[in-house]
């Protein structure tokens, strides 16, 4: 039994610290492991219960992502957490002062748990409701468990956080709608086409931006991608790279954990994800055959002109053509947007969609907070009972033993029916006595009062032997 | 039985309201619970209403589409049932609130203004006519849904053109899905209309043998309503062929679908008001008075037996 403990968190995150500070505070897995070793609490007893290190630390779980580095601690009550943490950070070569500067925040006990639940639900994320944090939190917990058995408080808090995060994501719309440019482009394309796997996209330009946009469409199973570039060689290089990536794409599990941002590799049946190249001279033909145009060249003048598009549209029999211009300066001539059945969009439109989705997510925050408060009530209930549970269990065992002796005595003198009736009656009696005892213990106003009550109870049932 | 029917008369608008509410809930919140429940509720209501109408038909001994209120009730069922076929085929639920809303309105009118009068055309007691009328009802309902989806296509198309990303943008299915729903409705409506017209012709020739000369003279395939129905069937069939073989699609195809339905409504309205037709089933029309047509199911059976001998 560890005894009274307290929970603490120290956080450096995107709300309190600029990128350079977050970079300095970052704890890569090796250093996180070293911190766990340095702070102790890494040995479990024969019952797999965590032990207390000499410095008072029971367990520590570091979480480090691009946007936050947080250290969750469970310590014996009264431990000097700041000194403990500074010493541990210094030992692993991190800058301890950083975690105690104006860029850091800290919470204790229920507030620390509340913060953890908020983080798990994506409420503290830069992109509200983003799903990766859930997987990152699980990785941090897994890493910690590989080092030591987390203390009861942290274990319960993390399990509650995973549950709260899952509930928030399933019961609210906090994670829906695109909040990145590339994803917004895919979302917009989906307003035109039922299945992207039946569509043909043309990527105009083989630069970095183009590659990024193409990856998103390929990851969302675009049927066929044609790369058109002034330099055919560059187009072929990009196509080859994309083909390679498609073959060795993330597993379905990894895609699921990424919350849809890393969809799995193309279907094995080859229905989607075909990639080819076309020479620049055939751009008009490529447009005529395409459903989606992604234009991302570095040209200083528009490269997709109204006449080219008109010629292409004439062959399309009214089928809509979705054109996305994410180049600066723009690649698609403004007059193209006046052509019938042609829909042109730019970065401003994608930003409009993202802002709309973020506003919709923000409207879900009160609902998410409500769910978190419900989960916190459960945590608080567990916390209230944690110190009385062993004593109550002992008390129950004592009463059960007494009951069995009495029933045995009755069975010798009376029939089985009478003995069963007595057994049933005494079981009801035990239930009532235990219920009353638990509620009395839980109603204690202070920890001291509760400890006194527990001692009294222990004295009562250990004062005499049931015999 | 009659008591049960009376209860259903009040319960049915409530059931339609629940379905509409669930689809509205889905449209505004995209709730997974609403998504799971809406189709189930709608299918239950289709089943209940069908049972209710069949039961009423059995009690009355005729097709329960004689009085205007009865027609509205049947129309609401036809709309919901046809929509369910399209929804289940295309797997798009976010437009359900529109159709179920109209269905609710129709069933409410039907319930509020229902009367106990049984003075309806004797045609409604004939099973051949009942089949024809039901098919016509479902066929035109399917065409009206095609109009609705084509209209939604044009609205979303306009919003996308103007770069407006509001609620309709977020909730409506893709342009391609709306087009598939519109064309899917036509694909449902065209064979139903064809079957309805064929059955109508067969029934008309059969009837001509059983009624007196005055009545028989009125039963002509050149009736304006019949002719215009064939024209409508031809028009929609050509549209389907154009879509299938000539690749007609997009804004042009959907504008055509909207225009076609508006033309159907206008033409039918004109024909109904300005041309004489035997397609009129109100009890006070001279057709029932003039003809020797049986006035009840029992009479009908007797006539049929006579014809058989």
Q: Domain locations in chain B?
A: 1-118, 123-309
pLDDT tens digits for range A279-288: 999 999 899 9
- Per-residue pLDDT, A76: 87
- Per-residue pLDDT, A453: 84
Question: Cβ–Cβ of B249/A319 closer than 8 Å?
Answer: yes
What residue in B sits closest to A177 (Cα-Cα)?
A: B170
Question: Cβ–Cβ of A173/B29 closer than 8 Å?
Answer: yes
Q: In angstroms, rounded to a whole number, what is the distance separating the alpha carbons of residues B9 and A73? A: 66
What residue in B sits closest to A363 (Cα-Cα)?
A: B29
Positive or negative: CA dihedral B280, B285, B291, B292: positive
What residue in B sits closest to A315 (Cα-Cα)?
A: B247
- Per-residue pLDDT, A2: 54
Residues of chain A positioned with their CB less than 8 A from the CB of B175: 191-193, 320
Question: Cβ–Cβ of A352/B170 closer than 8 Å?
Answer: no
Question: Cβ–Cβ of B175/A320 closer than 8 Å?
Answer: yes
Would you call A301 exposed, middle or buried from its count of C-beta atoms within 10 A (0-12, 13-18, 19+)?
A: exposed
Positive or negative: CA dihedral B61, B65, B66, B71: positive
Report residue B77 as tokens: 């069922």
Predicted confidence band at B26 (pLDDT cuts at 50, 70, 90)? very high
Same domain, yes or no: A334 and A214:
yes
In the predicted model, is pLDDT for residue A256 greater than 50? Answer: no
If DSSP states are collapsed to H, E and C, what string results for A381-405? HHHHHHCCHHHHHHHHHHHHHHHHH
Same domain, yes or no: A302 and A402:
no
Q: Which of B175, B178, B24 is nearest to A322 (CA)?
A: B175
Q: Which of B140, B18, B122 is nearest to B74 (CA)?
A: B140
Which of 342-361 (A) contact B at CB < 8 A?
343, 345, 349, 352-353, 356, 360
Better-predicted residue by pLDDT, A154 or B280:
A154
Residue B257, CA distances (Å) to A36, A193, A218, B154, B215 in order = 69, 20, 34, 11, 38
What residue in A sits closest to B252 (Cα-Cα)?
A: A318
Same domain, yes or no: A251 and A291:
yes
Question: Cβ–Cβ of A173/B249 closer than 8 Å?
Answer: no
From A255's Cα to the closest Cα of chain B, the distance in A is 22
Residue A212, CA distances (Å) to A96, A181, A182, A238, B132 in order = 38, 10, 8, 11, 59
Would you call B99 exposed, middle or buried from its count of C-beta atoms within 10 A (0-12, 13-18, 19+)?
A: buried
Same domain, yes or no: A144 and A188:
no
Q: Which of A372-381, B182-191, B264-273 has the lowest mean pLDDT?
A: B264-273
In the predicted model, is pLDDT for residue B66 greater than 80? Answer: no
| Helix, strand, coil percent values for chain B (each to nearest 5) | 80, 0, 20
Same domain, yes or no: A86 and A10:
yes
Compare CB distances from A193 to B30, B176, B252 and report the shortest one's residue: B176
From A208's Cα to the closest Cα of chain B, the distance in A is 27
Strand partners, A227: A203, A277
A69 domain-assigned: yes
A373 domain-assigned: yes
Ordered strands of the A200-204 beta sheet: A274-279, A224-229, A200-204, A292-295, A321-325, A342-346
pLDDT tens digits for range A120-129: 999 999 889 9
Residue to mutate among A316, A317, A322, A356, with most B CBs inside 10 A, is: A317
Compare CB distances from B252 to A318, A352, A356 and report the shortest one's residue: A318
Report residue A170 as tokens: 């399933």
Give the number of other CB atoms < 10 A from CB of residue B38.
27
Q: In angstroms, rounded to a whole number, what is the distance separating the alpha carbons of residues B173 and B63? A: 37
Candidates A4, A19, A29, A66; catalytic one: A66
> If you ran DSSP here, which 8-state letter would residue A263 be given?
P
Q: What is the ipTM of this complex?
A: 0.73
Which of 90-109 (A) contact B at CB < 8 A?
none
- Per-residue pLDDT, A254: 45
Q: In angstroms, rounded to a whole number, what is the distance separating the alpha carbons of residues B57 and B70? A: 11
Q: What's the mean pLDDT when you consider all of chain A?
A: 85
Residues of chain B positioned with their CB less than 8 A from the CB of A166: none
| Total domains, chain A | 3
- Per-residue pLDDT, A71: 94
Q: pTM for the complete prediction?
A: 0.70
From A340's Cα to the closest Cα of chain B, the distance in A is 9
Same domain, yes or no: A166 and A306:
no
- CATH of residue A195: 3.40.50.720
Question: Cβ–Cβ of A318/B160 closer than 8 Å?
Answer: no
Contact status, residue B18 vs residue B26, Cβ threshold 8 Å: no
Predicted confidence band at B308 (pLDDT cuts at 50, 70, 90)? very low
A358 domain-assigned: no
From B98's Cα to the closest Cα of chain A, the distance in A is 19
- Per-residue pLDDT, A258: 43
Same domain, yes or no: A394 and A378:
no
Buried b (16+ CB within 10 A) or exposed e, A89-99: beebebebebb
Contact status, residue B224 vs residue B232, Cβ threshold 8 Å: no
Cα atoms found within 13 Å of the Cα of residue A180, Cβ hemisphere only:
14
Q: Which of B290, B296, B124 is nearest to B216 (CA)?
A: B290
From B253's Cα to the closest Cα of chain A, the distance in A is 8
> If you ran DSSP here, which 8-state letter would residue B222 be given?
T
- Per-residue pLDDT, A264: 41
Better-predicted residue by pLDDT, A404 or A384:
A404
Q: Give the pLDDT mean for B36-58.
A: 92
Chain B positions touching chain A (beta carbons under 8 Å): 29-30, 32, 156-157, 160-161, 163, 165, 169-170, 173-177, 180, 246-253
Residues of chain B positioned with their CB less than 8 A from the CB of A319: 247, 249-250
Q: In angstroms, rounded to a whole number, what is the distance separating the alpha carbons of residues A294 and A78? A: 61
Same domain, yes or no: A373 and A433:
no
A173 interfacial to chain B (CB closer than 8 Å)? yes
Ordered strands of the A5-13 beta sheet: A57-64, A68-76, A5-13, A104-108
Q: Give the pLDDT mean for B223-237.
A: 89
What residue in A sits closest to B33 (Cα-Cα)?
A: A171
Residue to mutate among B250, B251, B255, B257, with most A CBs inside 10 A, is: B250
Contact status, residue A9 vs residue A106, Cβ threshold 8 Å: yes
Contact status, residue B138 vs residue B65, Cβ threshold 8 Å: no
From A262's Cα to the closest Cα of chain B, the distance in A is 22
Give the number of other CB atoms < 10 A from CB of residue A466.
12
Would you call A135 exposed, middle or buried from its count of C-beta atoms within 10 A (0-12, 13-18, 19+)?
A: middle
Phi–psi pair at A278, nearest 5 degrees = -140, 150
Would you call A203 exposed, middle or buried from its count of C-beta atoms within 10 A (0-12, 13-18, 19+)?
A: buried
Containing A422, the helix (H) or strand (E) segment is helix A416-442
Q: Give the pLDDT mean for A369-380.
A: 94
> If you ran DSSP here, which 8-state letter would residue A336 be given?
G
In the predicted model, is pLDDT for residue B218 greater than 50? Answer: yes
Q: What's the mean pLDDT when you consider all of chain B?
A: 83
From B185's Cα to the closest Cα of chain A, the distance in A is 17
Buried b (16+ CB within 10 A) or exposed e, B219-240: beeebbbbebbeebbeebeebb
Residues of chain B positioned with their CB less than 8 A from the CB of A321: none
Same domain, yes or no: A346 and A309:
yes
Compare CB distances from A191 to B169, B247, B248 and report the shortest one's residue: B169
Question: Cβ–Cβ of A318/B163 closer than 8 Å?
Answer: no
A139 domain-assigned: yes
Same domain, yes or no: A230 and A166:
no
Contact status, residue A304 vs residue A333, Cβ threshold 8 Å: yes
Interface size between A and B, measured as CB pairs under 8 A: 56
Q: Give the pLDDT mean for A158-174.
A: 93
Compare CB distances from A353 to B165, B177, B246 and report the shortest one's residue: B165
A176 interfacial to chain B (CB closer than 8 Å)? yes
Q: Give the pLDDT mean for A239-263.
A: 62
In the predicted model, is pLDDT for residue A251 greater than 60? Answer: no
A131 domain-assigned: yes
Strand pairing category for A321-325 and A292-295: parallel
Contact status, residue A32 vs residue A89, Cβ threshold 8 Å: no
Question: Cβ–Cβ of A318/B173 closer than 8 Å?
Answer: no
Give the number of other CB atoms < 10 A from CB of residue B7.
11
Q: Give the pLDDT mean for A234-258.
A: 72
Question: Cβ–Cβ of B156/A191 closer than 8 Å?
Answer: yes
Report residue B31 as tokens: 């709730």
Report residue A398 as tokens: 């004592």
Report residue A60 as tokens: 């520590």
Q: If you write DSSP's letter for every residue of A170-206 in order, what string do you get?
A: HHS-TT-S--SHHHHHHHHHTTT-S-GGG-EEEEE--
Rounded to 5 degrees, what angle do the CA atoms B124, B128, B134 make? 70
- Per-residue pLDDT, A376: 95
Residues of chain B positioned with their CB less than 8 A from the CB of A340: 251
Report residue A403 as tokens: 């009951």
What residue in A sits closest to B156 (Cα-Cα)?
A: A191
pLDDT tens digits for range B81-98: 999 999 998 888 988 999
Alpha helices in A92-231 (DSSP H): 109-120, 132-147, 152-171, 181-189, 208-219
Residues of chain B positioned with their CB less than 8 A from the CB of A193: 174-176
Compare CB distances from B250 to A176, A319, A360 and report the shortest one's residue: A319
Q: Give the pLDDT mean for B217-221.
A: 77
Q: In angstroms, rounded to a whole number, what is the distance separating the alpha carbons of residues A390 and A271? A: 60
Predicted confidence band at B258 (pLDDT cuts at 50, 70, 90)? very high
Residues of chain B positioned with their CB less than 8 A from the CB of A343: 160-161
Predicted confidence band at A315 (pLDDT cuts at 50, 70, 90)? confident
* Catalytic residue flag (residue A57): no
Residues of chain A positioned with their CB less than 8 A from the CB of B257: none
| Residue-number span of the structural domain to which A148 is assigned | 5-174+364-383
A145 domain-assigned: yes
Q: Give the pLDDT mean for A186-196.
A: 90
From A316's Cα to the closest Cα of chain B, the distance in A is 9
Strand partners, A346: A325
Q: Strand ranges (DSSP E) for A2-56?
A: 5-13
Same domain, yes or no: A244 and A100:
no
Predicted confidence band at B306 (pLDDT cuts at 50, 70, 90)? low
Residues of chain B positioned with their CB less than 8 A from the CB of A349: 163, 165
CA B274 to mean position of chain CA atoms:
23
Better-predicted residue by pLDDT, B196 or B212:
B196
What residue in A sits closest to B169 (Cα-Cα)?
A: A191
What residue in B sits closest to A199 (Cα-Cα)?
A: B176
Q: Which of B86, B184, B85, B192 is nearest to B135 (CA)?
A: B192
Same domain, yes or no: A38 and A126:
yes
What residue in A sits closest to B90 (Cα-Cα)?
A: A194
């Amino acid at each position: 039994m560890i005894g009274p403990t307290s929970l603490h968190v120290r956080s450096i995150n995107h709300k309190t610290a600029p990128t350079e500070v977050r970079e300095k505070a970052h704890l890569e897995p090796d250093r996180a492991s070293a911190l766990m070793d340095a702070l102790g609490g890494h040995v479990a007893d024969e019952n797999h219960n965590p032990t207390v290190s000499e410095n008072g630390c029971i367990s520590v779980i570091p979480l480090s992502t691009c946007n936050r580095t947080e250290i969750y601690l469970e310590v014996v009550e009264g431990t000097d957490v700041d000194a403990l943490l500074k010493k541990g950070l210094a030992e692993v070569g991190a800058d301890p002062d950083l975690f105690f500067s104006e860029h850091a925040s800290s919470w204790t006990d229920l507030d620390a748990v509340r913060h953890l639940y908020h983080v798990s639900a994506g409420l503290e994320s830069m992109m509200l409701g983003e799903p990766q944090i859930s997987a990152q939190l699980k990785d941090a917990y897994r890493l910690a468990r590989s080092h030591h058995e987390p203390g009861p408080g942290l274990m319960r808090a993390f399990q509650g956080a995973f549950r709260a995060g899952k509930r928030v994501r399933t019961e609210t719309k906090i994670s829906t709608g695109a909040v990145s440019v590339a994803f917004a482009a895919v979302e917009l394309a989906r307003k035109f086409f039922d299945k992207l796997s039946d569509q043909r996209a043309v990527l105009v330009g083989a630069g970095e931006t183009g590659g990024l946009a193409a990856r998103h469409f390929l990851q969302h199973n675009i049927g066929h991608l044609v790369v058109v570039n002034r330099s055919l060689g560059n187009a072929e290089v990009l196509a080859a790279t994309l083909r390679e990536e498609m073959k060795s794409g993330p597993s379905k599990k990894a895609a699921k954990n990424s919350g849809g941002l890393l969809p799995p590799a193309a279907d094995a049946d080859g229905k989607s994800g075909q990639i080819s190249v076309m020479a620049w001279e055939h751009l008009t033909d490529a447009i005529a055959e395409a459903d989606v145009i992604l234009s991302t060249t570095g040209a200083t003048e528009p490269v997709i002109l109204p006449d080219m598009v008109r010629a292409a549209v004439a062959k399309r029999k009214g089928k809509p053509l979705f054109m996305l211009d994410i180049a600066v300066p723009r690649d698609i001539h403004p007059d193209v947007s006046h052509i019938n059945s042609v829909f042109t969009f730019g970065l401003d439109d994608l930003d409009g969609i993202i802002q709309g989705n973020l506003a919709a997510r923000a409207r879900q925050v009160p609902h998410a907070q409500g769910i978190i408060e419900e989960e916190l009530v459960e945590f608080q209930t567990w916390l209230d009972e944690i110190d009385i549970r062993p004593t109550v269990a002992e008390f129950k065992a004592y009463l059960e033993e007494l009951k069995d002796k009495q029933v045995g005595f009755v069975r010798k003198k009376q029939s089985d029916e009478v003995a069963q009736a007595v057994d049933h009656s005494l079981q009801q009696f035990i239930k009532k006595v235990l219920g009353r005892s638990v509620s009395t213990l839980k109603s204690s106003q202070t920890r001291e009062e509760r400890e006194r009550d527990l001692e009294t109870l222990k004295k009562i049932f250990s004062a005499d032997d049931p015999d | 039985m009659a008591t049960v029917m009376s209860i259903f008369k009040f319960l049915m608008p409530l059931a339609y309201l629940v379905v509409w509410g669930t689809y509205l809930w889905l449209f505004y919140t995209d709730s997974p619970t609403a998504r799971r429940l809406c189709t189930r509720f709608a299918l239950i209501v289709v089943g209940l209403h069908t049972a209710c109408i069949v039961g009423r038909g059995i009690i009355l001994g005729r097709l329960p589409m004689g009085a205007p209120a009865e027609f509205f009730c049947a129309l609401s069922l036809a709309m919901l049932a046809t929509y369910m076929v399209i929804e289940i085929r295309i797997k798009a639920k976010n437009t359900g609130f529109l159709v179920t809303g109209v269905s609710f309105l129709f069933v409410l009118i039907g319930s509020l203004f229902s009367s106990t009068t049984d003075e309806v055309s004797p045609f409604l007691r004939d099973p051949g006519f009942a089949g024809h009328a039901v098919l016509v009802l479902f066929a035109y309902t399917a065409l009206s849904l095609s109009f609705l989806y084509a209209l939604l296509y044009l609205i979303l198309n306009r919003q996308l053109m103007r770069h407006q990303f509001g609620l309709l943008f977020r909730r409506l299915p893709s342009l391609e899905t709306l087009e598939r729903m519109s064309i899917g409705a036509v694909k449902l409506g065209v064979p139903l209309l064809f079957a309805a017209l064929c059955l109508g012709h067969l029934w008309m020739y059969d009837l001509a043998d059983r009624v007196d000369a005055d009545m028989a003279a009125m039963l002509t395939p050149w009736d304006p309503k019949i002719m215009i129905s064939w024209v409508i069937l031809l028009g929609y069939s050509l549209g389907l062929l154009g879509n299938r073989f000539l690749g007609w699609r997009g804004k042009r195809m959907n504008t055509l679908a909207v225009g076609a339905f508006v033309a159907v409504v206008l033409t039918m309205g004109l024909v109904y008001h300005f041309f004489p037709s035997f397609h009129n089933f109100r009890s006070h029309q001279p057709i029932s008075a003039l003809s020797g047509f049986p006035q009840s199911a029992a009479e009908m059976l007797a006539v049929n037996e006579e014809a058989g001998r």
